[in-house]
Amino acid sequence: MKSGGQLVVDALECFGTGRVFCVPGESYLPVLDALHDSAIATTVCRQEGGAAMMAEAWGKLTGEPGICLVTRGPGAANASAGVHIASQDSTPMILLVGQIATRRRHREMFQEVDYQQFFGGMAKWVAEIESAERVPEMMSRAWHVATSGRPGPVVLALPEDTLQQLSDVTPLNASVESLRQTEIWPGADQLTQLQTMIEQAEQPLAIVGGSRWTAEAVAQFTAFAERFGLPVACSFRRQMLFDHTHGHYVGDIGLGISPKLKARVQSSDLLLLICARFSEIPSQDFELLNVPQPQCPLIHVHPDAGELGKLYLPALAINASPTALSSELVKLTPSGEHRRAEDINTLHQQYVAWSSLEHALPSTTTMQTVIAHIIKSVPADSIVCNGAGNYASWVHRFYPFQQFGTQLAPTSGSMGYGLPAAIAAKLAHPEKTVLAFAGDGCFQMTMQEFGTAVEFGAAVIVLVIDNGMYGTIRMHQEQNFPGRVSGTDLFSPDFAALAKSYGAFGATVESGEAFPAAFNAATKSGGPALLHIKVDPDALTPTLSLASMQ
């Protein structure tokens, strides 16, 4: 006989779960007790939003559901920030939420929430396990729903009596094969048509995005692009899907898109959306492609059939996962030599010019030095994380991502993501350099998780870019209500002192000249480190000043 709580942990062990992220709560004590004797590492966070973001980042990196455990009511509400990220970023994740006893439902009990209503609009599946004997069934379903098709978050509520109840049900004992993601394979006729359309096009452009990629799939797609003469762009915050130093890379399609790349998207005679959804941000508010009829033939590949034709009518729709598609594309043989080498080189050189720090404003010398030093000093397999804010444009425009698995950034635009994501990345890959970029506003959303980094030895390097305001909102405020500053000034603590109060390395950087020495010291500290980088508030973005808007 095993308790429902033990059966939950048995299922997680069956899944091969290596780590869970949580904030403890009395509503799921039997699960915490079962974890006591489990080999699963338990990372105790400071706030449920941070825990859920760590689980989401873990799912991004591993392709397996990140696991987050939180208590009922307020705990679940806090965790919803991470669930929303997992939803919009197509990340596999399972949120396990404590719940009041089933026999006491519908009395507005202490912290009672109807989770199906609360999470129903942002999770792939929300359910409540009403008896211990159904734990193996429901946990198995949660795993498969989270990873299938377009991955996403699943929420399971765990009532107190379910977790305490004893059952002789057989614990989940699935084979490794049965837990693998179900691949979706393209048809032979679809591959033939795809090849024909590419070879007949004069100015095709491929845009890669979405989730479910692997390093092998990225390498295979790269080889395919080389053989068939395809220039390749990356969708918003999916830049790690193609090596920026490769001659076929032409830039990212997101916020602050290169005007020349934008023009090329609009003038192409064939577009390939490879597992990207091309929603509001990459589509430039749905203006790059006409909805629903694109201005040029569109090949759309996606692992979720529901995304095909959802916004754009494709000339060729292929329901396939990126791993299955790439493994088939690499087998195709061109019917002849392509004649697009000059066009591809021109597009790549336009990207190189666009990503040069020479374009940045004179008032941004500190950040120019920061980015330039990082580019030349960190290994190519370093993992770069960020949340939301204008500061992130320094990473997205200028940092050359070269390898799969090196970027953690929310396509949902969630502030506070960088630090929790970096902690998860460092725990997953302790041997790698992990950087967390954050603005002063973004960092203060989840800065308490720096304590989590210290407690669990996650030696992340946090770069807090401090301009004393909510810079992105101020930019939009000046555009829409010039001269009427309201609600965008920001008071912040001494972030370096905060790091030191945790016993970690902290330093304040007030000029570009001081950054290299400070960064090297942070790297050599061997533990979590924070650099408080003070920048000129006039520089709203690398190329836009506050003064120019007034």
Q: What is the CATH number of the domain that holds 251?
A: 3.40.50.1220
pLDDT of 110 higher than 70: no
pLDDT given for residue 471 in this prediction: 82
pLDDT of 85 higher than 90: yes
Query: What pLDDT band is residue 300 in, cutting at 50, 70 and 90?
Result: very high
Query: What pLDDT band is residue 547 in, cutting at 50, 70 and 90?
Result: confident
Whether 362 and 308 share a structural domain: no
Whether 197 and 335 share a structural domain: yes
Residue 217 CA to residue 235 CA, distance in Å, equals 16
Count of domains for the chain: 3
Whether 39 and 116 share a structural domain: yes
Whether 346 and 452 share a structural domain: no
Mean pLDDT for 286-295 is 93
Closest CA to 538 of 529, 550, 527, 530: 550
Q: Is 456 exposed, middle or buried (0-12, 13-18, 19+ CB in 10 A)?
A: middle
- Phi, psi (rounded to 5 degrees) for 436: -120, 110
Residue 363 CA to residue 368 CA, distance in Å, equals 10
pLDDT given for residue 109 in this prediction: 63
Mean pLDDT for 224-233 is 98
Q: What is the CATH number of the domain that holds 368?
A: 3.40.50.970
Residue 126 CA to residue 116 CA, distance in Å, equals 5
pLDDT of 181 higher than 90: no
pLDDT of 523 higher than 90: yes
Whether 410 and 507 share a structural domain: yes
pLDDT given for residue 152 in this prediction: 98
Closest CA to 38 of 61, 13, 20: 13
Of 473 and 243, which is predicted with more confidence? 243
Mean pLDDT for 8-17 is 95
**Domain endpoint, select from 303, 326, 352:** 352
Whether 157 and 306 share a structural domain: no
Domain residue limits at 422: 356-549
pLDDT of 104 higher than 80: no
pLDDT of 273 higher than 70: yes
Q: How many DSSP H helices and E strands does the chain contain?
A: 20, 20
Q: Which two tokens stand for residue 201?
A: 């096009």
Sheet of 232-235, strands arranged across: 249-253, 232-235, 204-208, 270-274, 298-302, 316-319
pLDDT given for residue 530 in this prediction: 98
Whether 382 and 369 share a structural domain: yes
Could you give the percent of the chain with pLDDT greater than 90? 87
Residue 232 CA to residue 176 CA, distance in Å, equals 35
User: How many residues belong to the chain?
Assistant: 550
In three-state secondary structure terms, 509 is: strand
**Domain endpoint, select from 352, 371, 386:** 352
pTM, 2 dp: 0.96
Whether 125 and 210 share a structural domain: no
pLDDT of 108 higher than 70: no
pLDDT given for residue 546 in this prediction: 86
Q: Report strand pairing: 316-319 vs 383-386.
A: unpaired
In this structure, are residues 30 and 164 in contact, taking their beta carbons and an 8 Å threshold?
yes
pLDDT of 548 higher than 80: yes
Whether 71 and 120 share a structural domain: yes
Whether 270 and 212 share a structural domain: yes
Mean pLDDT for 17-22 is 97
Mean pLDDT for 487-510 is 96
pLDDT of 538 higher than 90: no
Whether 320 and 360 share a structural domain: no
pLDDT given for residue 164 in this prediction: 95
Sheet of 505-509, strands arranged across: 407-408, 383-386, 434-439, 461-466, 529-534, 505-509
In this structure, are residues 85 and 103 in contact, taking their beta carbons and an 8 Å threshold?
no
Whether 363 and 326 share a structural domain: no
Could you give the percent of the chain with pLDDT greater than 70? 99
pLDDT of 277 higher than 90: yes
Residue 523 CA to residue 507 CA, distance in Å, equals 12
pLDDT digits (tens, 9 = 90+) for 122-179: 999 999 999 999 999 999 999 999 999 999 999 999 999 999 999 999 988 877 677 7
Closest CA to 278 of 214, 208, 212, 211: 208
Residue 436 CA to residue 113 CA, distance in Å, equals 34
**Domain endpoint, select from 149, 179, 209:** 179
Mean pLDDT for 399-411 is 97
